[in-house]
A and B are shown apart, each in its own frame.
Chain A
Amino acid sequence: MSNVSLRNVRKTYPGGFEAIKGIDFEIPDGQFCVLVGPSGCGKSTLLRMVAGLETVTSGEIDIGGRVVNEVEPADRDIAMVFQNYALYPHMTVYNNMAYGLRNRGMPKPEIDTRVREAAQILEITTMLDRKPRQLSGGQRQRVAMGRAIVRQPKVFLFDEPLSNLDAKLRVAMRVEIRKLQRRLKTTSIYVTHDQLEAMTLADILVVMNGGQVEQIGNPLEIYRKPATTFVASFIGAPPMNLIPLDGGEIAAQFAGDSRSVAAAGVLGVRPEDLLISTDATATGGIALDLTVEAIERVGPETFVYGSREGAHGVSVNPGELPPGEVIVRIPGQIAPAIGERIRAIAPRDKLHLFSADGRARIDI
């Protein structure tokens, strides 16, 4: 059993900066957990605490039923893949992978078997005698993965392993990492700031912000029901449209609803849930009158950037749209002209409501 539990984990730096403000969650055996959040949210720090590279100020980190707070990184039975790969530049690919096994006094024949097996899985058998500097970025990435899997650890830790690769390779490696993890069934923790990577890799998605967990759950569940406006604008690209409901005409469309809905302060609607329509009435849902400001055609779909009249306020969360700007995603390439006035509607079951401070979700 190698589940990982974090119990009220905190990290305060000597200067008094609180990087991790009490985090609790559990990753069941064999699951792929992704920590996602903007830079500086503490996700890498948390991963390094699990690895034993950062001390834990308070709380407990438990790997496979053993509290490892005071255990050396070498004895935690984990393997880590670093963002810059951290390969040993003076060793061959073979020795890079064998190093951790030799340090543990494994007999030579077994080391050889394991290294060759890992090399085969990762398709780097022909490169075993090369030095890291003779390899491309993607190949180095594979060696770094190889170094982790030969150890057959309880837990894999990935610290933004794909962010140094170009976009195409990143997608390919993402798929491979997922396949590899499914095959090895090793509990994994993966840190990224890329929400697409997070959505596609995770069994369990942990959205972090400011040293705290914003939401934990199945990625699609989080996508469907974001708990806060931060999660709503961070998960999904382009981000969810967030519209303040401060008594204007939008709020009027909700008149006569239950008390909780009437108390909502922010309305959210995803770009793909909006439809451009000429219908004067949008029964039960909302209708937004927009002036088209910009068009982005990406091929299979088109994004229409529109502005609402009389919108005000400032955006709170990183990645959030400027106030008054609304994105509508339409399939295909046919789009309205710039400057045209359009009406975008969304049915009621596609709407998200949040409290005025954005910290709580209100179910309709």
Chain B
Amino acid sequence: MQKQSTFRSPVLPFLLLTPQVAVVLLFFYWPAAQAVWQSFLLQDAFGLSTTFIWFENYAELLTQPEYYEAVLRTFIFSAAIAGSSLSFALLLAVMADKPLRGSGLYRTLLIWPYAVAPAVAGVLWIFMLHPSLGVLARGLRGMGIDWNPQLNGDHAVTLIVLAAAWKQISYNFLFFLAGLQAIPKSVLEAAAIDGAKPMRRFWTVTFPLLTPTIFFLIVVNIVYAFFDTFGIIDAMTGGGPAKATETLVYKVYLDGLLGGNLGSSAAQSVMLMVIVVALTAIQFRYVERKVTY
């Protein structure tokens, strides 16, 4: 059954769409088109002369080994962030789904971190893991780990992944909890009567029924890791030490705003956009097949 509305005036539906279309045009298509245009240009450092150079910015970008390193780094980041935040959020949601006293309270508390701004989350983790001030860093030192994210690239990556994943957990948690509660209780009861122990019940019934939620969250989390980690990286490491945390989106900022190479920066933005669109398309095309809607 399809519900169809009929309008008396042919103008009204277009009028109703206008605000949405205007917003998308103004804030997405226009800047995107500008980025594409900019990526074909070469500007001198003072912005006094501009030359149209077709694909030279792209060609130069693709010959830089640093660019490939940044691509690889970004993929590692997004896999680590999406993987850890999704699995931890799922664990929390499964536990919060149990009918315990005060569940409303702790469910609310688990959602709050989402309201924290990325930079604030970054600062929070900086202080906890600061090599000389941090509480957690002290503990790590005590365990014999020479913790120093300001000098050690791997430590810096860990720090960013921790902060970025932590911030995303509450968002994932919310969707997982909703997904879990949408599973009919009687199906799980039937599985219990069918002799499935809790772990087996989870992997053979709950998890397959959650796949639509999981799929949606994978897409959202990867896009988050690609773009929204900017604030955290900027606040915590500024891309350092020695480019260890310089992801694609941060490189766009460094080369364009700080390096003044607007043409290359625009080319990188366009590439980034293409990568994310391609990733999402792949996910929809292949992962969705395994999803049981």
Which of A17-25, A71-79, A268-276 forms contacts with chain B? A71-79
Within B190-218, which residues are at the interface with A (CB < 8 Å)? 190-197, 200, 204-205, 208-209
> B189 at interface (Cβ–Cβ under 8 A)?
yes
Q: How far is the CB of A147 from chain B (nearest CB, A)?
A: 8
Within B154-206, which residues are at the interface with A (CB < 8 Å)? 184, 186-187, 189-197, 200, 204-205
Within A136-194, which residues are at the interface with B (CB < 8 Å)? 147, 151
A82-B190 in contact (CB<8A)? yes
Residues of B within 8 A of A88 (CB): 187, 190-191, 205
B194-A82 in contact (CB<8A)? no
Residue count of chain A within 8 Å CB distance of chain B: 23
> A51 at interface (Cβ–Cβ under 8 A)?
yes
Give chain B's interface secondary structure class.
helix
B190-A86 in contact (CB<8A)? yes
Instruction: Report which B residues bind A (CB closer than 8 A).
Output: 184, 186-187, 189-197, 200, 204-205, 208-209, 292
> A104 at interface (Cβ–Cβ under 8 A)?
yes
B196-A103 in contact (CB<8A)? yes
> A100 at interface (Cβ–Cβ under 8 A)?
yes
A104-B195 in contact (CB<8A)? yes
> A198 at interface (Cβ–Cβ under 8 A)?
no
Residues of A within 8 A of B205 (CB): 88
| A74-B194 contact in complex given A53-B189, A82-B186, A103-B200, C-beta closer than 8 Å | yes
B184-A74 in contact (CB<8A)? no
Instruction: Report which A residues bind B (CB closer than 8 A).
Output: 51-53, 72-74, 78-80, 82-84, 86-90, 99-100, 103-104, 147, 151
CA distance A338 to B203 in the complex (A): 66
Residues of B within 8 A of A104 (CB): 195
Residues of A within 8 A of B200 (CB): 103
B184-A86 in contact (CB<8A)? yes
Interchain residue pairs A-B with the least CB separation, the first 3: A100-B194, A86-B186, A90-B292
Given A80-B189, A80-B193, A86-B184, 9 other A-B residues pairs in contact with their CB atoms under 8 A: A51-B189, A53-B192, A53-B193, A74-B197, A78-B193, A83-B186, A84-B186, A90-B292, A99-B196
| A90-B208 contact in complex given A82-B189, A84-B186, A103-B200, C-beta closer than 8 Å | yes
CA distance A264 to B208 in the complex (A): 63
Residues of A within 8 A of B184 (CB): 84, 86
B189-A74 in contact (CB<8A)? no
Residues of A within 8 A of B190 (CB): 80, 82, 86-88, 147
Residues of A within 8 A of B196 (CB): 74, 99, 103
Can you sample 6 A-B contacts with CB below 8 Å? A53-B189, A80-B190, A82-B189, A86-B187, A103-B196, A103-B197
Residues of B within 8 A of A99 (CB): 191, 194, 196, 204
CA distance A151 to B190 in the complex (A): 13
Residues of B within 8 A of A86 (CB): 184, 186-187, 189-190
Which of B187, B193, B292 is A73 in contact with, Cβ under 8 Å? B193
B292-A74 in contact (CB<8A)? no
CA distance A72 to B190 in the complex (A): 13
Q: How far is the CB of B192 from chain A (nearest CB, A)?
A: 5
Q: How far is the CB of B202 from chain A (nearest CB, A)?
A: 13
| CB nearest neighbor in B for A75 | B195
A89-B186 in contact (CB<8A)? no
B192-A74 in contact (CB<8A)? yes
B208-A79 in contact (CB<8A)? no
B193-A74 in contact (CB<8A)? yes
CA distance A72 to B200 in the complex (A): 15
Residues of B within 8 A of A89 (CB): 187, 209, 292
CA distance A103 to B193 in the complex (A): 10
CA distance A72 to B191 in the complex (A): 12
A74-B186 in contact (CB<8A)? no
CA distance A82 to B191 in the complex (A): 12
| CB nearest neighbor in A for B200 | A103
Which of A79, A90, A100 is B209 in contact with, Cβ under 8 Å? A90
Q: How far is the CB of B214 from chain A (nearest CB, A)?
A: 13
Q: How far is the CB of A48 from chain B (nearest CB, A)?
A: 8
CA distance A83 to B208 in the complex (A): 23
CA distance A89 to B195 in the complex (A): 18
Residues of A within 8 A of B194 (CB): 74, 99-100, 103, 147, 151
Q: How far is the CB of B210 from chain A (nearest CB, A)?
A: 10
| CB nearest neighbor in B for A105 | B195
| CB nearest neighbor in B for A131 | B292
Residues of A within 8 A of B204 (CB): 99
Residues of B within 8 A of A90 (CB): 208-209, 292
| CB nearest neighbor in B for A98 | B194
Q: How far is the CB of B183 from chain A (nearest CB, A)?
A: 9
CA distance A261 to B269 in the complex (A): 96
CA distance A74 to B193 in the complex (A): 4
B195-A100 in contact (CB<8A)? yes
| CB nearest neighbor in A for B187 | A86
CA distance A33 to B193 in the complex (A): 20
